Chain A
Amino acid sequence: MEKDRLSQQAPWNKSQKLLIKLDEETDPALGCPPEKRTIEQHIRFGLINLDKPSGPSSHEVVAWVKRLLRLNHAGHGGTLEVPIRAGVIQWSPAFFH
C-alpha cells in the first residue's frame, strides 16, 4: 500500500537520494563538468526552456528556432497541441471516438 502511494507522487515530490557503492574520485584531467563547457560545446549539448506561444504547432516553433539560431539539429520534448486542421471544431464529440 505504501509502495502504491509513492508511485502516485509526482517525480518532483519524490526523494532523489543516492546510495554510495564505491569510494572513488574522478581525474580532473579528463572530460569537463557541464557548467565549464566552451560556448560551442555548451550549445552542442544544450537545451532551451521555451514558452510555446498560442497558434503555431510545437513542430513549427522548433523549425523557427532552428532557423533563427542556424542550428543543424533541434527537437522538442513532448508535443503541446494536437495538430488540428482549421475548421474542425476541437471539442466535437467525434474527436474522442
Chain B
Amino acid sequence: MVTGVLPLALEDATKTIQAFLLTGKEYVCIMTMHGDVDQTKLRGVLEEFVGDIFQKPPVRAAVKREVRKRTIYSIDDVEIDGRQVLFRVACQAGTYIRKLVYDVGEVLEVGAHMRELRRTRSGSFTEGDIHSLYDILKLSQASPEEREGMFRQIVRPMEDAFEYVPRIYIRDSAVSSICHGADLAVPGIVKLSEGIRPKTAIALFTLKGELVALSRALIGTEQMMKDERGLAAKTVRVIMPTDTYPKLWKPKHRRSVVTQSN
C-alpha cells in the first residue's frame, strides 16, 4: 500500500543517509472518509492543514512519541469521488501522512483513514528518474561488457542528494584538514549558500563539486562573508577518504618532540 521514491545509498555513500533523511518529501495519498462530507467543507479543512501543524507520532514509530511541529508546504490536486479523496501533499521530513489523514478525519467529524500512499519526491529524488527492483535484477544479471553502462545509468553520484542542502565550497588547501576531522575556518570558504544560520546542517564541497563532509554551521552566512578569521562550521561526518587531497597544513609539534628538543 505504500510505494514510491526510496533513495538507496551504496557502500561509502551510506554515510550520507543522515543528510537526506532531513529533506522535504512529497506524496500522493488516497484517503477514505468514514462518512459523507460536503466537498466545499472538505477542501476547506484540507486547506487548514497547510502551514505549521502539531503531530504526535503513532504508537509504532521509530521516534520518541512527543508532540512536534511539522510544516505542510502544500496540499493540492484534490480529487473527490464519494468518500474517496485523492490529494498531493508536500511536507517537511518526519511528517506522518497516516496521522495527518487521521487528524483530517477528526476535524471532519466523520473519521478517515489512509488507503494508499505513494512517495513522489524525497529532496532531489523524484518519480521521473525512478528505477524498479526489476531494473536492479537486470543489472545484477548483466554481462561484464554491458555492466558498466547499466551501472552508470542507474547509479547516481551521492552529491545529487544534496541539491537542496545549504552548502559551503572550500579551498583545495582546506580539504585535507577537514578530512582529518578539523572544523572549517572562515579563510577556507570560497562560495556559500544564502540563509545559513548558526546550527544549520550544511554540506562541504570542493570546487570540483565533490562532497567532503557534513557539518553544522557555527555562524550565519552574513558573518561568514564579513569575517576574516575564526571557525565557521563544525565537522560532523567526514565522507571523503582522507588521502584524496594532499596535506597542506603543518602538524602542531607534539609534546614528545618538545621534550626531546629540551
Q: Is the CB of B3 within 8 A of A68?
A: no
B167-204 contacts to A (CB < 8 Å): 167, 169, 171-172, 175, 189-194
- Across the two chains, which residue of chain B brings its CB closest to A69? B140
Q: How far is the CA of A47 from the CA of B211 in the complex (A)?
A: 13
Q: How would you classify the secondary structure of chain B's contact residues: helix, strand, loop or mixed?
A: mixed
Q: Beyond A47-B7, A52-B3, A61-B6, is A39–B152 a contact (Cβ under 8 Å)?
A: yes
Q: Beyond A33-B208, A43-B11, is A49–B113 a contact (Cβ under 8 Å)?
A: no
The verdict on A86 contacting chain B, using a C-beta distance below 8 Å, is no
B75-125 contacts to A (CB < 8 Å): 90, 93, 98-99, 102, 113-114, 119, 121-125
Q: Is the CB of A24 within 8 A of B207?
A: yes
Per-residue contact bits, chain B 135-155, to A (CB 8 Å; 1 contact, 0 not): 011011000000010011011
Q: Beyond A19-B221, A49-B131, is A80–B3 a contact (Cβ under 8 Å)?
A: yes
Q: Is the CB of A95 within 8 A of B60?
A: yes
- From A17, A44, A52, A81, B13 is in contact (CB under 8 Å) with A44
Chain A residues lying within 8 Å of B114, measured Cβ to Cβ, are 91
The verdict on A87 contacting chain B, using a C-beta distance below 8 Å, is no
The verdict on A48 contacting chain B, using a C-beta distance below 8 Å, is yes
Q: Beyond A22-B171, A47-B8, is A75–B17 a contact (Cβ under 8 Å)?
A: yes
Q: Is the CB of B129 within 8 A of A74?
A: no
A-B contact pairs, 14 of them (CB 8 A): A16-B164, A22-B171, A25-B207, A31-B206, A37-B157, A39-B152, A48-B136, A51-B3, A52-B4, A71-B11, A76-B9, A77-B6, A77-B122, A96-B56
